[in-house]
Structure 1
Amino acid sequence: MAGPPPDPPPDPAPRATPGLAPGDFEALTQALKYCVLLHDARTFEILWANGAACDLLGWSVEELKPLKAPDMSKNAREYSRELGRRWLRHAVADGVSATEWCYRSKSGEEILTEAIAIRVDLPAGTVVMVQFRDIAEEKAVRRDLFRTESRLRTFLGGLAEGIVVLDDAGRVVFASESATRQLGEGLHGADFAGYCPDGPVPGREGRYRFAAPGAAPRWYAATCQYIGIESDLRGRMLLFYDISDRVREEEEHRRDTQRLDHLARYNAMGDMAMAIAHEVSQPLAAAYNFVEGARGRLAAGDEQVAWGLDNAVRQIDRARRILGSLRQYVGRLEQSEQLTDLNTIVRDCAYFIELRAQEHGVVTEFDLTAEPLPVRCENVLIGQVVMNLAFNAVEEMARRPVAERSVRITTRRAGDGDAELAVRDRGDGPPPGDRIFDGVFTAKENGSGIGLALSHRIITRHGGRIGVGPNTPRGAVFRFTLPRARTTG
């Protein structure tokens, strides 16, 4: 019977690397900047240390050999002897095990290290070689970097300004949190041209409208510059912030300025009309006197001459009454707010309204309350509103057949006691849209739309309301109300 197989031949003795003697490896290990400790793989006692380890820990090799984990580790639970031995056992079982370990030097200094335990099978037995290096400074730098990054993220996240960086193709390679809040979550990686409804992507400082696809555009002030950070962030950087409210205020201020300029022109026209009425009234009065004198001398003469003079007198008298009414009306421009009857204002305007209506063949009807409608206002400004609404109605009716041309002006006491005036026509009905009082609507071929805007400004400044609605059976009703004034007595 054959006996048991022979034992395998023993491993050949390790051969020295050509050109290096076995003792040279210790010299190489001593030259390492990494610290090296050798532990017995069974007892975990220290067998040897290189010079870097001795220098860092402050002990010689002979002093290190008898030391245990509590003697050379930080006095904390995570660096206990049991955890240290478990770490070394993992290295023995798995071949390698890494951890962070806080050693304590001979002088008591605590040294945080990155440590790697490696099982090494030597001819004399298995050992665990621990390589470690001081990472305290590195950890401090890392903490500072993390803290700085965290602060930058908080700072950028709290900015009102949005920041995007675009590559050469115009795609977003970076977007700040504030930019994402303003333009949506799909910003990163998108073609920024899709966010610019008015044209190309901004290339210089200015005002632009941006919006996420499908959203309403808003106004932004933007600056643009090229940046290059390392090799992973290069391109055009846009910094922008929302100025929609400012643009809206500027637009409102511009419209207000236009309205004030228009009102100033109204006042200038009033001054001119005042001067004209003053200058023309004198020659008209003189002409009237001359005609009256000629009539007296021709009392017994040619009847046709007398008839012609009679008509001349009537026309001159009519012109004098027109100028008198104009002078009386314009002369109130300097008056301030006062207590008056809305019906009185309408009667003062009636003459001018009827003149305009006669030019277009429009019949005017005035239906005023028998009782007073006391209001506190600037008579001339409210009168201007009355005439604006009436003139608009007359010009609307001028386009209709002659039989349909009528405008009705009424006053009444509203349900809440306020004084109300309404102007009704039989035209095409209320204008479309809801911006007829902001200076953009006009139905006239050469109109500016400023009359309705000015009327709205005047009425609201007096604490009233102005609006438009349908007339029955056809046409539109423009009406305004003014707060009723308290009277005494």
Structure 2
Amino acid sequence: MPVDDLAPTDFHELTEALKYCVLIHDARTFDILWANRAACDVLGWTVDELKPLKAPDMSKNARQYSRELGHRWLGHAVEHGISATEWCYRSKNGEEILTEAIAIRVELAARTAVMVQFRDIAEEKAVRRDLSRTENRLHAFLGGLAEGIVVLDDANRVVFASEAASRELGGDLDGADFTAYCCDGLVPEREGRYRFAAPGGTPRWYAATCQRIDIESDLRGRMLLFYDITDRVRAEERHRRDTQHLDHLARYNAMGDMAMAIAHEVSQPLAAAYNFVEGARGRIGTGTGTGTGTGTGDEAVAWGLDNAVRQIERARRILGSLRGYVGRLEQSEQLTDLNTIVRDCAYFVELRAQEHAVAVEFDLAADPLPVLCENVLIGQVVMNLAFNAVDEMARWPQAERRVRIDTRRGDDGRPELAVRDQGHGPPTDERIFEGVFTSKENGSGIGLALSHRIVTRHGGTIGVHANEPRGAVFWFALPTAPTRAEAGST
């Protein structure tokens, strides 16, 4: 039906049916001319009762709802066509009604009027206050949390980051690619421990949990909640190392007990073997054996027996030194020359090198290097370092298999020995002398630990550094000792 077909009474009925409250004011005096049914119901007055009322009669008794301010608001609508404000009306029974009010200038046929439309917003304001209070609380809670929260989209970009997350990782995380903050390369997708850091920052350990969220199409993605556990991880690592060290000490002590038992049990068979070999040598020399007793064959047998005697004698000396070492070190120390110890070991080092076709070069100091030590134990350190270098070079092409052993007096005056190879270089593990490191397939890591123990008990120092242009240098230095002549003069 066309609008022109509506009767004036129809417009009246439509206006009366509105749920929005309407008041009509005179644009000059601001007196009330008319009110619709919704306004009368809310305010509790009839139209005739409203007409003589003024602002103080139907507004809250507060300065912001004074008559002057009310006229200024309506006057602004008259001048500019429209004006909005928040106005608190007071009903006939004294109830205060907070409203959102809009004043609009309307040019009627008889006069200019101001139509005020208003609606009750008390509940809406209460909801807003509750939401604001809840938001402030959440803001305070999230700001005070030690845990960081980030929400990532499917491309691992940050669509939300809490203050704690920004504090932990630094900078503005919004829109950032979170992959750049994951030090281990993968963005967490399950609960676990991860290392995070801002690009270029120092990584720290975090415990993280993950879950998918979808908040009314407003915030959707993978939420990560994480908190710093670096101190805990470091403490666990220290505990693990301490446990390994205690295990090593337990093995080391057990080895001491076993060494004493082995030294006791093996010394007698070695002595008997030595006697048998000496007897066999004597028989070859006198021709009383079952063979011919002459010729090249006897010389070869004699050569073999001589070397067997040297090996047995070496074993006997090691066992004797072992008993002294496990007991009291001071009782078995003696004044000797470090060069002499190296020369005694050269035979056994060269035997090991020949097995792997490794060339060994000895460069010993021209002057004596007097040390006060248990020479067999220090000799064992020399052979441990030399054997390790030979085994390392055995992995390389034969033309490159070279090991150098040299002695000298260091800058601090202490006698030093260095074993240089041209292999892969010094190990990166800082605990190579703690009995937990080995690069050999069937190694135990005890050799370097035992060498460290022997050298430090002698008051010396042992270490490793890179060789130039390639390889590693294992070295040790012992306290210098006076020569026999100097000792005698004192």
**TM-score band (shorter)?**
0.5 to 0.7
- What is the CA–CA distance in structure 2 between the aligned matches of 1:164 and 1:192, rounded to whole Å? 9
TM-score normalised according to structure 1 size: 0.67
- Specify the alignment match of 1:18 in structure 2: 5
Letter in 1 for 2:319: L
1:230 deviation in Å?
Answer: 0.8
Letter in 1 for 2:5: P
1:122 deviation in Å?
Answer: 1.9
- Specify the alignment match of 1:265 in structure 2: 251
The farther-off stretch of 450-459 and 26-35 is: 450-459
1:56 deviation in Å?
Answer: 2.8
- Specify the alignment match of 1:94 in structure 2: 80
1:45 deviation in Å?
Answer: 1.6
Distance 1:319 1:393, change over 3 A: closer
The farther-off stretch of 178-187 and 127-136 is: 178-187
1:392 to 385, 393, 413: 385
- Specify the alignment match of 2:165 in structure 1: 179
- What is the CA–CA distance in structure 2 between the aligned matches of 1:208 and 1:447, rounded to whole Å? 33
Letter in 2 for 1:438: R
Gap runs ≥5 in structure 2:
290-301, 351-361, 394-399, 480-490
Matched, 1:71 2:60: no
Letter in 2 for 1:407: T
Letter in 2 for 1:323: L
- What is the CA–CA distance in structure 1 between the aligned matches of 2:173 and 2:448, rounded to whole Å? 44
Aligned residues: 435
- What is the CA–CA distance in structure 2 between the aligned matches of 1:449 and 1:214, rounded to whole Å? 36
1:191 deviation in Å?
Answer: 4.5
Distance 1:282 1:266, change over 3 A: same
Distance 1:317 1:104, change over 3 A: same
2:326 to 325, 330, 350: 330
Q: Give the alignment's Cα RMSD to 1 decimal.
A: 5.4
- Note the alpha carbon deviations across 1:88-143, whole angstroms, 9 max, x for none: 00111111110011223334433221111111222231221111122122111111
Matched residue SS, 1:203: coil
1:145 deviation in Å?
Answer: 0.7
1:193 deviation in Å?
Answer: 4.4
Matched, 1:425 2:425: no
Is contact 1:357–1:364 with CA below 8 Å preserved after alignment? no
Letter in 1 for 2:268: Q
Letter in 2 for 1:18: D
Distance 1:172 1:405, change over 3 A: closer
1:32 to 9, 18, 24: 18
Counting only pairs closer than 5 Å after superposition, residues 189-338 of structure 1 correspond to structure 2 as 189-196=175-182, 198-199=184-185, 201-213=187-199, 215=201, 218-284=204-270, 303=286, 319-331=315-327
Matched residue SS, 2:5: coil
Matched, 1:129 2:115: yes
Distance 1:239 1:443, change over 3 A: closer
- What is the CA–CA distance in structure 2 between the aligned matches of 1:330 and 1:46, rounded to whole Å? 114
- Specify the alignment match of 2:407 in structure 1: 407
- What is the CA–CA distance in structure 1 between the aligned matches of 2:139 and 2:321, rounded to whole Å? 74
Distance 1:187 1:455, change over 3 A: farther
1:52 to 25, 38, 49: 38
- What is the CA–CA distance in structure 1 between the aligned matches of 2:176 and 2:407, rounded to whole Å? 60
1:74 deviation in Å?
Answer: 2.6
Letter in 1 for 2:152: L
Is contact 1:38–1:130 with CA below 8 Å preserved after alignment? yes
Matched, 1:105 2:94: no
Distance 1:387 1:253, change over 3 A: farther
- Note the alpha carbon deviations across 1:241-269, whole angstroms, 9 max, x for none: 34444444444544444444344333333
Matched, 1:142 2:138: no
Letter in 1 for 2:226: F
Is contact 1:423–1:479 with CA below 8 Å preserved after alignment? yes
- Note the alpha carbon deviations across 1:163-214, whole angstroms, 9 max, x for none: 3333344443333333334445464334544555655544333334445555
Matched residue SS, 2:92: coil
Distance 1:318 1:215, change over 3 A: closer
Q: Percent identity?
A: 64
- What is the CA–CA distance in structure 2 between the aligned matches of 1:387 and 1:111, rounded to whole Å? 100
Counting only pairs closer than 5 Å after superposition, residues 113-124 of structure 1 correspond to structure 2 as 113-124=99-110
Is contact 2:184–2:195 with CA below 8 Å preserved after alignment? yes
Distance 1:427 1:322, change over 3 A: closer
- What is the CA–CA distance in structure 1 between the aligned matches of 2:231 and 2:448, rounded to whole Å? 25
Matched residue SS, 1:405: strand
1:273 deviation in Å?
Answer: 1.9
TM-score normalised according to structure 2 size: 0.67
- Specify the alignment match of 1:360 in structure 2: 349
The farther-off stretch of 389-398 and 136-145 is: 389-398
- What is the CA–CA distance in structure 2 between the aligned matches of 1:111 and 1:352, rounded to whole Å? 106
Matched residue SS, 1:270: helix
